[in-house]
Copies of this chain bind each other. A is one copy, B any other.
Amino acid sequence: MGTPAAPPTSAASEAWLLMSRLLRENRGPFFAACAEERLSPPQVMALQLLEPAIPTPMSDLAGLMHCDNSNVTGIVDRLEARGLVTRRPATHDRRIKHLLVTDEGAAVRARLVAQLSEPPEPLLRLSTAEQRQLRDLLRKALG
């Protein structure tokens, strides 16, 4: 009996671990961007998840952030206190509070997205052909 068919770690597993490592080792710019805008990481995450021009219920945001409803209340409180976001009761169901990104919020968000889309050094070590290949694989996976 030689090597069994199942490898010790599949290519998908190893790819997943490598991606996790790549992200973990390159969170420096993320924290730097947070500090620059004087926002906490959860606040930045929330602002990033809120599409401007798309009113989003609190509970939807909670789902996206994998956390409790009551937790978003506090995070949104602080974003609202800074004038980056507003709450507006939905017209058809006034229990629901829609979150809206203000103009200032959209400006901050745009700066954040710009900074966070800056690829880290390991990706830049790939040739442009390889970068495209990587992008296409990810597009297909997430498609």
User: Looking at the complex, which of A50-58, A93-101, A132-140 is the stretch in contact with chain B?
Assistant: A132-140
Instruction: Report chain B residues within 8 Å CB of A142.
Output: 18, 21-22, 122
Instruction: Report chain B residues within 8 Å CB of A17.
Output: 116-117
User: Looking at the complex, which of A7-15, A74-82, A104-112 is the stretch in contact with chain B?
Assistant: A7-15
Instruction: Report chain B residues within 8 Å CB of A10.
Output: 119, 131
Binding site secondary structure of chain A: helix
Number of copies: 2
Q: Which of B9, B15, B116 contacts A138 (CB 8 A)?
A: B15
B15 touches A123 (CB 8 A): yes
A36 within 8 A of B: no
A19 within 8 A of B: yes
Taking A11-B128, A17-B117, A135-B15 as contacts, is the C-beta distance between A31 and B141 under 8 angstroms? no
Chain B proximity of A6: nearest CB distance (Å): 12
A1 within 8 A of B: no
A11 touches B140 (CB 8 A): no
A134 touches B11 (CB 8 A): yes
Instruction: Report chain B residues within 8 Å CB of A116.
Output: 17, 20
Query: In the bound complex, how far is the Cα of B141 from the Cα of A124, in angstroms?
Result: 8
Subset of 8 A-B contacts with CB under 8 Å: A11-B135, A12-B119, A12-B126, A12-B135, A13-B119, A14-B135, A15-B123, A18-B135
